Each structure stands twice: as C-alpha cells, then as structure tokens.
Amino acid sequence: MTEQELLDKGYRKYSGKDIDVFFNTNICEHSGHCVRSNGDVFDVNRRPWIIADNADSAEVAEIIDGCPSGALKYVLHK
C-alpha cells in the first residue's frame, strides 16, 4: 500500500529516517502489542507517541507486522 493510500484510509504518518510508520486509531484494538514490543518506539504517554527512529527499521517493521488489528502499517524508504 502506498503512503497516499494509507493517508486516504485515515492513517496518520509518523516519519522516520529509514521507515515511516502509519497508525489508524479507528482500527486499533488496543492489544498493546506495539507498546510491549518496544516502548522506546511506541509510548502512549509521549507526544508524538510513535518515534520511528528509536529502533532499527527492521525491528520496527517486525513489530508492525505483528499488529493484530492492522492499525499499524509502514513504508520503508528506498
């Protein structure tokens, strides 16, 4: 899915150097998978709550791939 398609579907973009993270609050099931996986990247008590550069892009992508609801998506930079 492209960045524009994600934005059109209601996802919000959190930019990083190597990876952009997209989140759609309307889809989120609040399972906590992301926060438990890496609190340096995903911290609901911080604004912005997602800082994509706080971990290696491969780790961020792996966490997002495990999101049970699909509320998190990503686009890797080329």
Average pLDDT, the chain: 97
Distance CA 26, CA 41 (A): 20
Helices and strands (H, E) in the chain, number of each type? 3, 3
Cα 4 to Cα 22, 48, 66: the distances in Å are 11, 21, 22
**CATH class assigned to 3-76:** alpha beta
In sequence order, the β-bridge partners of residue 73 are 22
Break the chain into its structural domains and give their ranges: 3-76
pLDDT band at 78 (very low <50, low <70, confident <90, very high): confident
Q: Kindly report the pTM of this predicted structure.
A: 0.96
pLDDT band at 22 (very low <50, low <70, confident <90, very high): very high
